[in-house]
Structure formats: structure tokens, C-alpha cells
Amino acid sequence: MHRAARIEDWLHDRREHSARRRGYQPTVIPYTGYGSTAWVRILCRVLLAKPEKPAKRTKRPRADGRDAGIRGWRSFTSVPVNDVTVTIEIDGQTHRVQADRGGVVDTVVPVSLPAGWHVARLHTEFSAVAEAPLFIVAPTVGYGVVSDVDDTVMVTTLPRPLLAAWNTFVLDEHARVPTPGMAVFLERLASFTPGAPVIYLSTGAWNVAPTLSRFLSRNLYPAGALLLTDWGPTHDRWFRSGSAHKRDNLRRLAEQFPDMRWILIGDDGQHDEAIYSDFQRDYPGSVAAVAIRQLSPSEAVLAGGRSRDAVLIDGSPEAPWVYGPDGSSLANQLVAHGLL
């Protein structure tokens, strides 16, 4: 194991020991999963958190329903529980799986469910039961949507080296700005093919998943699974590769749904075009179209420049590439191709 990973594990062990002494208890944080009528992909994370105290009526709630001062850094103060056994209860079946060294569970379990939304019950030996939403895709559904997050559904306007730190540790979640027209664009795509899965594929950390889910819901993006990553060192390197994370999950989706064609949505900030182009080359039958949001000149500078020096990719008649500055422009072009 890489030295950095050993150091991280040692710090996690110290923090876990200290948190348990202070009465912190295991808590399962459920994430939206997806699957077919024969299997489901379960996603969750196990953390140590303070026991909930009875609510005190010390002040009037905000008129807009917001909790004051919700910032991403709070999600990083919880302690992950590694190698803990998580029990999954779904459709009368029980499965037990092991969380990884970051407390994350990402596993596929066999189960027969009809298409639509379902719920899995997740818990550890000493935690309360948490319910994870699951979207089951019918075998007859032929299209799905995969979308990037930063600079695609959410405007960031920050230099890439500072982006993750700012969005994670500083920015109030209610101050994050949706990209113009993208919520309507994704909702139209999801509605065009009833039962189509929507996947949000990002290099963000699992720690921000609850915040990101609230942002998507509040701004009327269609519900879907989040495929995020675990920051920090791996067994063989200092930091995880965001590009590898996206490529691996796209390959996984293509293999899990071999008859489905995906509409891939991203931006021209840095890597999305290259990742989607490589995926289309390797799995040509799995791509229906690629929609790339073009950053403004100032956004492109902050993002580290445009990929491919802003050379547009035409794609093919069977899988066109469209470019536009917002969701409305991208939608109009997909209408012309009969995909919306």
C-alpha cells in the first residue's frame, strides 16, 4: 500500500477511536442507486456522527426553509468507518457487504424488481436503518442520460485548482448557481423516453453527495444516481484520478446496459470531450449523442483552457455531437436530430 494511504488509514483509526470515546455512533448515509430488473447497484457511506439531540425551539425557522450556514466543510468533519459490515434489505432479501477503507459501499446485488422507483433498507449492527432510493430500468428502455456536474449543471467560475476546495469547504450550498437552461434540458431528455435513467457522473467527493442532491432537487433537475469518488490516496498513488473515475463508470454502464444508448452531457473546460470521444470509440453502439456546453471566455480561462483547443467534434449521423452555451441551445440542436 502507498505510504500516503497508510498514513490516511492511521489518521482515520485515530479519529475513529477518539470519536467513539466521545459517543459518536455509526450512521449510514444512503445514496440513490440504480439497476435492471435482475440486479441493483447499492451506494452508501458509513460515518461516525454525533447522536441526534431533541430539537430545541430557540429561534424561529427561516421563512425560506433554509438552515443557516450550510456549507460543504461540515460534511468533511464526520469520521468514516472502514471495513464495517452493512446489511442490505430489499424485496424481502438480505445481503451483507463490507464497506471499503473510506466507509463507502458500492456493490451490485442480485434481486428481481419491476421497473420504477424502489427503496433499499441499509444499516450496520449498531446504526439506525436508512432508506436508499433505487431506480430500476425496464428492459425496453433504449436511452439514458449521463451528465457531468461542475460547469455543466452548476456554474463554478473558479480556477480548477481552487474549485474543489471552494465548493467543498466555503460556499453556502444555497449560493451555488445552476447553469441556465440545463435543468429544463435534462428534464426534457428524461421525459422524452419514459423510464430513462439519469446518472450524474462527477469527480466530486462522496462527502458532498447530500449537498449536491439538495442542489439538484432544489433547482428541479431530474432525480438520478450520483456517481462520485473518494478523495485522498489510493493503494498505489497520492490522489485518485478523476478522468479514470469517469472512464471506469462509463465502461461499467455500457457493460451493465449493453442495449442502451446514452446521451452524454459535459463541458469543453478540460477532459469531458476526450473522455466521451474515447468512450464512443470503444463503445460506438452505446452513444446516442454528445452535448457539450461551451464555456464563456472567462469561464474557459478559469477552467484551465478549452480541451482540443476548441476544435468541434462532428460525431456521426448516428451519434451527433452538439455544442452550445446553455441548455436551450443544446436542446434545440437535439430536436433537429430527432433525439428530443
pLDDT tens digit string along 51-100? 666 555 544 444 444 443 334 444 556 788 887 899 999 999 999 999 98
Q: What is the CATH number of the domain that holds 127?
A: 2.60.40.10
Is residue 292 over pLDDT 90? yes
Question: Which residue segment(s) compose the domain that 121 sits in?
Answer: 25-50+80-139
Are residues 183 and 309 part of one domain?
A: yes
As a whole number of Å, the end-to-end CA separation of the chain is: 48
Are residues 226 and 179 part of one domain?
A: yes
Give 302's pLDDT tier (boundaries 50, 70, 90).
low
pLDDT tens digit string along 277-287? 999 999 999 99
Task: Identify the residue with better confidence: 302 or 191.
Answer: 191
pLDDT tens digit string along 36-51? 999 999 999 998 877 6
pLDDT tens digit string along 221-269? 999 999 998 765 444 444 556 689 999 999 999 999 999 999 999 998 7
Report how far residue 55's alpha carbon sits from residue 82's, in angstroms, rounded to the nearest whole number: 30
pTM of the model: 0.83
Are residues 277 and 228 part of one domain?
A: yes
Task: Identify the residue with better confidence: 201 or 72.
Answer: 201
- Calculate the CA 301 to chain-centre distance: 25
Give 310's pLDDT tier (boundaries 50, 70, 90).
very low
Are residues 106 and 178 part of one domain?
A: no
Task: Identify the residue with better confidence: 3 or 322.
Answer: 322
- Domain for residue 60, yes or no? no
- Domain for residue 67, yes or no? no
Cβ proximity of 275 and 330 under 8 Å: no
pLDDT tens digit string along 117-150? 999 999 998 889 999 999 999 999 999 999 999 8
Report how far residue 35's alpha carbon sits from residue 106's, in angstroms, rounded to the nearest whole number: 13
Q: Rounded to a whole number, what is the largest CA-CA distance in the chain?
A: 62
Residue 339 makes CB contacts below 8 A (sequence gap 6+) with 143, 192, 263, 288, 289
Confidence at residue 65, expressed as pLDDT on a 0 to 100 scale: 40
Are residues 174 and 120 part of one domain?
A: no
Q: Structurally, how many domains does the chain consist of?
A: 2
Q: Give me the sign of the Cα torsion angle 137, 138, 139, 142.
A: negative
Residue 3 makes CB contacts below 8 A (sequence gap 6+) with none
pLDDT tens digit string along 149-195? 988 998 765 555 555 555 555 555 666 789 999 999 999 999 999 99
Report how far residue 300's alpha carbon sits from residue 279's, in angstroms, rounded to the nearest whole number: 23
Strand partners, 107: 42
DSSP state of 307: G
Is residue 314 over pLDDT 50? yes
Report how far residue 337's alpha carbon sits from residue 317's, in angstroms, rounded to the nearest whole number: 8
Strand partners, 108: 41
Residue 196's closest CA among 225, 154, 226?
Answer: 225
- Domain for residue 161, yes or no? yes
- Domain for residue 66, yes or no? no
Which of the given ranges, 12-16, 21-25, 257-261, 307-311, has the highest pLDDT on average? 257-261
Domain end call among 123, 139, 155: 139
Q: What is the CATH number of the domain that holds 295?
A: 3.40.50.1000
